[in-house]
Amino acid sequence: MTAEQVKEAIRNVPDFPVKGIQFKDITTALARHDCLCWMKDEIVKRFKGLGITQVVGIESRGFIIAPAVAMEIGAGFVPIRKHNKLPAETVSVTYEKEYGEDVIQIHKDALNENDVVLIHDDILATGGSMAAAIELVKKLGVKKIYVNCIIELEGLPGRRVLTEKGAEVDCLFGIEVNE
């Protein structure tokens, strides 16, 4: 399995969730055992041995591979969820998306100053949701933060936005926005 083969398994959905957005649907790659294993194994290779104690997945597609990565590297899994989805006391961040505004939350006691965190999501586009996730995790005073996405949409400012915030950004592969 190669990155190119996984890229070929990803479906484009035009005008979703709004007109003008070319949505990269990873569910077609996730449905293939070989692609799913390659994505998980590649992330594990890149982050095993870095002392990561918690893998944080961003709702909802970040929940798919993050727990498997956490198990493989000997870490726990912590979800970042949309507003009012977590049952205990939370910390929140509001951010702008390509097509609106959103609020994400994490449990206030989910992380601490001893944690080394890997934040994972499926796609890095404009960087809004990942930047918000970084801000949220920083509020809990963790020791170090790593960032990983499966796909980087090339030609969009996501990587620049995150590196300007001091994040180390790792993506398994890039896809042109109109590809």
The whole-angstrom separation of Cα 28 and Cα 115 is: 33
Q: Is 179 a catalytic residue?
A: no
Q: How far is CA 81 from CA 3, 44, 59, 88, 102, in A?
A: 28, 23, 5, 12, 11
* Residue reference for tokens 């609106």: 100
The whole-angstrom separation of Cα 96 and Cα 152 is: 19
Q: Is 101 a catalytic residue?
A: no
- 55 burial level (CB within 10 Å; 0-12, 13-18, 19+): buried
Region of 14 please: left (phi>0), alpha (psi -120 to 50) or beta: beta
Residue of 42, 61, 81, 159 marked active site:
61
Residue of 98, 164, 168, 176 marked active site:
98
Q: Which residues are catalytic?
A: 61, 98
